[in-house]
Amino acid sequence: MATQHSRSAARVMISPAVLLLLAWMLIPLGMTLYFSFQRYNLLMPGAHPWVGLMNYKLFIQNPAFWTALINTLLLVGGVLIATVVLGVLLAILLDQPMWGQGIVRILVIAPFFVMPTVSALVWKNLFMNPVNGLFAWLLPKLGMAPYDFLTQAPLASITFIVSWQWLPFATLILLTAIQSLDSEQMEAAEMDGASALSRFWYITLPHLSRAITVVVLIQTIFLLSVFAEILVTTNGGPGNASTNLTYLVYARSLLNFDVGGGSAGGVIAIILANIVAIFLMRAIGKNLDA
Amino acid sequence: MARAVTPQRKAINTIAAWIIGLLIFFPILWTILTSFKTEAAAVAFPPQFLNFDWTFENYTTVQERSSYFRHFWNSVVISLGSTVIGLIIAVPAAWAMAFVPGKQTKNVLMWMLSTKMLPPVGVLIPIYLLFRQFGLLDTRTGLVIVLTLMNLPIIVWMLYTYFREIPVDILEAARMDGASLRKEIIYILTPMAVPGIASTLLLNVILSWNEAFWTLNLTAAKAAPLTAFIASYSSPEGLFYAKLSAASTMAIAPILILGWFSQKQLVRGLTFGAVK
């Protein structure tokens, strides 16, 4: 039973966290919004005239925006599909009885702990480099022509690198979920003569739906903001071929010093992230309350 | 009850899982091996797996040329600093929400989660300008502030899910036996809360160590942690694979080891308690 006294004590204990987060959200957000209506470039000192929706118009009319938008969706979608599909298969495999299960699990989750700049540079140089990379040696052995991954297929290569980083996360969560599956139900289905495929389809997959939703939600939050991997591999290029929205706003803001335009882009990025978030929260809300 | 499997089946599982596990781990293993090669051996075809002359030269070169340990220390200060400050703010909040839940508790928690949906790039300009204004660009203090605020929702959520599992009945029992509030906190609650706090600390250090948006955008040379230091290898001169590998190995080794200890907490922390 909470007394009046303990309630007010609780309020005091919660308020620092709430106030700090509120400030962290509102002050920068307000500033972004404010700047987005001004003509404001750090290289041009002087007044920052009010220009209405001009920055938004310019940002959206720029073909780079649409390229970046599509790239963002392709990157997020590609990584989600790869990590969820492979994650489910890998989780099922790791759940089987085997020797050295603990060690295999350690090997599988390791990429998650590698910092983004390291994994991107290792893949870029040690593996994908068209002259010295391991793939440059391996492909001819397999009868294939040498291939410059980050130049000829930059977005697909980055999608691959990011998938490698996030596969462990999906696998670990799905494995945790699989391990809570009722084995008696499985055995009953097996005795009734259900095939492995139909057991997977009618028992395992429905059981995993909640965990899959969680994986999709959390990965989407992080994947919309992929940045370091692009910065150190392709710098968004060639052209805009591997520029996502985060990178485009960064380039506009800190490379072109265009505060107004960058802010408009930032607001657009926030709106898009929120649209995705609403969809996901709704999908997850159903799943999480159960 | 574990299901009975034939030895053949078990052997097939084992082989398949080990092959896939080693494939996934291979880039890390290859980086570690390359860090012990000479630059010439690092790019030799056919690739040399173990049959090369092992050398520690790259590790000393990386330190001498670019004062590696300063960046390492920056990473330590930033990740530990932001985590500890985050815990100091979050422990009371999570505590109150877990033990004295009010009508608004659920909403406050959901709102905190929603702040994580805000893409960092949306507030890049204001943070950059504020930092410039207050002289916080390229300082460890600045990064500690940003990372603390960024990870605060995760810390609160994680602690909350741990604290909620502490049985409240035990407090009532202690009260019946005449324990004072002070004794309750010192002898009963604290020991039960410590494992949860430790797990939260561990996971948050890992997340902050690897954070690579703010660290790349807000630091230059002085306060750059390892994420930003490694990024400087993206425009190299001459042969650099072995040195890149040595720098990378040192950057990921501590967190890889911490990470392996934190598998369980990782699931719980990053799913906001939705999957345990």
Which CATH number covers residue A215? 1.10.3720.10
In a domain, A195, yes or no: yes
- What's the CA gap between A139 and A159, in Å, rounded? 20
In a domain, A112, yes or no: yes
**Tally of CA atoms within 13 A in the half-sphere of A200 that contains its CB:** 8
The pLDDT score that the predictor gives to residue A287 is: 55
Q: Which domain holds residue B215?
A: 69-270
Q: Which domain holds residue A153?
A: 53-289
CATH classification at residue B230:
1.10.3720.10
In a domain, A31, yes or no: no
In a domain, B62, yes or no: no
In a domain, A25, yes or no: no
- Provide the domain count of chain B: 2
User: For A193, phi and psi rounded to 5 degrees?
Assistant: 90, 20
Query: A183-188: which pairs have CB atoms within 8 A and are 24 or more residues apart?
Result: A183/B1, A183/B2, A183/B3, A186/B3, A187/B3
- With an 8 Å Cβ cutoff, are B149 and A21 in contact? yes
Burial grade of A210 (CB within 10 A; 0-12, 13-18, 19 or more): middle
Asked if A212 reaches chain B (Cβ–Cβ under 8 Å), the answer is no
Low-confidence ranges of chain B (pLDDT < 50): 1-2
Task: Report, in this order, helix, strand and coil percent for chain A, each rounded to 5.
Answer: 75, 0, 25
Q: Do B178 and B224 belong to one domain?
A: yes
The pLDDT score that the predictor gives to residue A286 is: 61
Cα radius of gyration rounded to whole Å, chain A:
24
> Which residues of chain B make contact with A31, given a CB cutoff of 8 A?
123, 125-126, 129-130
Q: Do B262 and B214 belong to one domain?
A: yes
The pLDDT score that the predictor gives to residue B215 is: 93
At residue A41, the 3 state secondary structure works out as strand
> Which residues of chain B make contact with A214, given a CB cutoff of 8 A?
271, 274-275
Give strand pairing partners of A38: A50
> Which residues of chain B make contact with A216, given a CB cutoff of 8 A?
none
- With an 8 Å Cβ cutoff, are B13 and A27 in contact? no
In a domain, B140, yes or no: yes
In a domain, A29, yes or no: no
The pLDDT score that the predictor gives to residue B1 is: 39
- Provide the domain count of chain A: 1
What the block records as the tokens of B146 is 């940003």
Contacts of A100 (CB under 8 A, 6+ apart): B14, B18
- With an 8 Å Cβ cutoff, are B216 and A228 in contact? yes
- With an 8 Å Cβ cutoff, are A94 and B17 in contact? yes
Work out the number of other CB atoms within 10 angstroms of the CB of residue A119.
Answer: 27
Interface ipTM above 0.90: no
The pLDDT score that the predictor gives to residue A1 is: 46
pLDDT digits (tens), chain A, 290 positions: 456 777 788 888 888 999 999 999 899 999 999 988 988 888 887 778 888 888 899 889 989 999 999 999 999 999 999 999 999 999 999 998 899 888 999 999 999 999 999 999 999 999 998 888 899 899 988 888 888 899 899 999 999 999 999 999 999 999 988 988 877 888 888 888 888 888 888 888 888 888 898 888 889 888 998 999 999 999 987 889 999 999 999 998 888 888 898 999 999 999 988 888 887 767 656 655 54
In a domain, A30, yes or no: no
Cα radius of gyration rounded to whole Å, chain B:
24
Q: Do B166 and B191 belong to one domain?
A: yes
Give strand pairing partners of A281: none
Q: Do B120 and B142 belong to one domain?
A: yes
